[in-house]
């Protein structure tokens, strides 16, 4: 996967984090000036790592640094980007499933440090890849993943007519702490559709889930959240008997890393 797709792949997930955590536990006073809000968000996946320090007011840019340590190794995040209200770091060494990583963030407004073990791979158990199930209620299930605290699901439901053309497109994104998702038949009741192509992805995630009230899992003078992602589990099956489908007839959605990160933060009302 290209670097641009990886960056596009994180943004949806960051958008899922919210104000309850941000407003109640992220205040700090610096040299007489109140820091209205600040949070460190760290994401480790494969093959990238990302750190954001979101703060109002902004820290001294030259004072902000991020490092990653594992198995006696250490690396300083080389790429730093400045945007309104945040400092973002990227680093592209491969992160290994089952390995524990420590991320340290320092700045003139405070510091945060945390460790996390990347969860194992995930696989879909029902429906199987390219399987066809009757139109009606659908139950999806996947393997329980070692090290996972919760699962992020990004699902596309393509409603198609008898010629295989898409007549409707629905996103069904959610998070689960169990390994089963029930999709009611109401999602498969589009006028003019004779079958539905369900595609998407499931990610095993370690760390705090992006729900209001989530507390951080990093220590230090700044509150912080550190999450780790396992490998993707692909979703691809049909509800109702499919006709021949040309590639251009359905719009496929690509979830970028930037989107995933923004989705996570929006859930906490930070973005």
Q: What percent of the chain has pLDDT over 90?
A: 54
Kindly state the tokens that stand for 175: 């998070």
- Whether the per-residue pLDDT at 142 is higher than 60: the answer is yes
Q: Which of 158, 174, 169 lies closest to 240, judged by CA?
A: 158
CB of 8 within 8 A of CB of 254?
A: yes
Helices 3-10 and 257-267 pack at an angle, to 10 degrees, of 10
Kindly state the tokens that stand for 148: 């996972």
* Structural domains present in the chain: 3-117+263-267 (2.60.40.10), 124-208+231-251 (2.60.40)
- 3-class secondary structure, 6: helix
Q: What is the pLDDT of residue 161?
A: 92
Residue 108's pLDDT band, with cuts at 50, 70 and 90, is: very high
The mean pLDDT of 198-224, rounded to a whole number, is 89
HSE-CB of 190 using CA atoms within 13 angstroms: 21
The mean pLDDT of 195-212, rounded to a whole number, is 90
The mean pLDDT of 70-91, rounded to a whole number, is 91
Q: What is the pLDDT of residue 136?
A: 97
Q: What is the pTM of this model?
A: 0.77
- Whether the per-residue pLDDT at 75 is higher than 70: the answer is yes
The mean pLDDT of 78-85, rounded to a whole number, is 86
Residues 237-254 pLDDT 10s: 999 999 865 443 444 555
- Please provide the size of the chain in residues: 271
**Run of H or E including 141:** strand 138-142
- 3-class secondary structure, 113: strand
Beta bridge partners of 65: 106
- Distance (Å, whole) CA 74 – CA 69: 4
Mean pLDDT score across all residues of the chain: 82
Query: In sequence order, what DSSP letters do the residues of 9-69 get, joined into one string?
Result: HHETTBBTB-HHHHHHH--EEETTEEE-EEEEEEEE-SS-EEEEEEEESPPPGGG-EEEEE
Which residue has better confidence, 25 or 42? 42
């Amino acid at each position: 996967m290209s670097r641009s797709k990886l960056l596009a792949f994180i943004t949806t997930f960051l958008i899922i984090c919210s104000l309850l955590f941000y407003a109640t536990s992220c205040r700090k006073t610096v040299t007489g000036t109140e820091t209205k809000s600040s949070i460190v968000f760290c994401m480790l996946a494969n093959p990238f790592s990302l750190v954001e320090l979101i703060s109002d007011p902004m820290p001294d840019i030259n004072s902000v640094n991020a490092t990653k340590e594992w198995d006696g190794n250490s690396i300083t995040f080389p790429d730093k980007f400045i945007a309104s209200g945040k400092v973002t770091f990227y680093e592209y060494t491969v992160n290994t499933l089952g390995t524990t990583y420590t991320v340290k963030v320092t700045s003139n407004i405070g510091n945060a440090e945390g460790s996390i073990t990347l969860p194992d791979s995930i696989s879909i158990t029902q429906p199987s890849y390219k399987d066809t199930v009757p139109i009606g209620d659908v139950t999806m299930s996947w393997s329980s993943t070692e090290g996972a605290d919760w699962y992020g699901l990004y699902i596309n439901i393509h409603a198609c007519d008898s010629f295989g053309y898409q007549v409707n497109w629905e996103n069904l994104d959610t998070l689960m702490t169990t390994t089963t998702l029930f999709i009611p038949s109401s999602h498969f009741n589009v006028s003019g559709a004779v079958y539905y192509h369900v595609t998407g992805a499931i990610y095993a995630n370690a760390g705090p889930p992006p729900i209001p009230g989530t507390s951080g899992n990093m220590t230090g003078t700044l509150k912080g959240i550190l999450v780790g992602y396992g490998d993707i589990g692909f979703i691809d099956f049909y509800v109702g008997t499919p006709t021949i489908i040309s590639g251009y007839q359905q719009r496929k959605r690509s979830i970028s890393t930037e989107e995933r990160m923004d989705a996570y933060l929006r859930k906490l009302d930070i973005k």
